[in-house]
């Protein structure tokens, strides 16, 4: 029995805060997704990974199932990463979820203007955080419908 194609696509998690990173990984693990989680600690690494440049030049082809992106990142911030992803024809269809502690209206507005798919404010309470991540993981990796004509959509009928 073969796995669904999307289960092979990794989730890209870009988070620099060690506590938030640990919480997110625990929450994703509890949601029991089969997807590998690729963890990067700054926006510059994320862009190298997505573009298959620098230390990620030899990574396997293909885009992640979803990008979980912190807003406040070193080197290149989350909004700059989002802007670069949406500007690239090869990357623009990747779902991007801003996962941040910022509730500033300007950050929310700018994220949506740049094309974010969802903006999730990290709850401070651990069980809420686990629940939010689990819901996101299930939605983006399993339930979200791909655009017509995408690789995943065409495989559905095999």
0.85 surpassed by pTM: no
Range of the domain at 23: 5-155
Give the dihedral sign, CA 45/51/54/59.
Answer: positive
Over residues 29-68, the pLDDT tens digits come to 877 777 889 999 999 999 999 999 999 999 989 999 889 9
Nearest CA to 35 out of 57, 64, 14 is that of: 64
Q: Report pLDDT for 43.
A: 97
Identify the residue with better confidence: 157 or 24.
Answer: 24
* Residues shown for the chain: 158
CA-to-CA dists, residue 114 to 63, 66, 69, 109, 123, angstroms: 19, 16, 13, 9, 23
Q: What is the pLDDT of residues 68-127, one digit of tens each?
A: 999 999 999 999 999 999 999 999 999 999 888 888 999 999 999 999 988 888 776 777
Please check the confidence at residue 22 and state whether its pLDDT lies above 70.
yes
The 3-state secondary structure of 26-64 reads HHHHHCCCCCCEEEECCHHHHHHHHHCCHHHCCCCCCCC
For residue 85, the domain's CATH number is 3.40.50.2300
Looking at the DSSP bridge assignments, the partners of residue 14 are 40, 69
How many domains does the chain divide into? 1
Strands lying side by side in the sheet with 96-100:
37-40, 11-14, 66-69, 96-100, 118-121
Instruction: Please report which confidence band the pLDDT of residue 6 belongs to, taking 50, 70 and 90 as the band edges.
Output: very low
Looking at residue 145, its pLDDT comes to 52
* pLDDT one-digit tens code per residue, 124-154: 677 777 777 777 766 665 555 555 554 444 3
């Amino acid at each position: 029995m073969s796995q669904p194609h999307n289960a092979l696509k990794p989730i890209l998690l870009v988070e620099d805060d060690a506590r938030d990173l640990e919480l997110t990984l625990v929450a994703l693990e509890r949601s029991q997704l089969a997807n590998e989680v690729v963890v990067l600690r700054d926006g510059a690494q994320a862009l190298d990974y997505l573009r298959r440049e620098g230390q990620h030049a030899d990574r396997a082809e293909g885009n992640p199932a979803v990008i979980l992106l912190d807003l406040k990142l070193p080197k290149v911030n989350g909004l700059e990463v989002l802007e670069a992803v949406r500007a690239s024809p090869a990357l623009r269809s990747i779902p991007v979820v801003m996962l941040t502690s910022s509730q500033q209206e300007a950050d929310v507005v700018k994220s949506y203007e740049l094309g974010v798919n969802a903006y999730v404010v990290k709850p401070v309470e651990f069980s809420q955080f686990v629940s939010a991540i689990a819901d996101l993981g299930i939605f983006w990796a399993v339930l979200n419908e791909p655009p017509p004509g995408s690789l995943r959509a065409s495989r559905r009928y095999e």
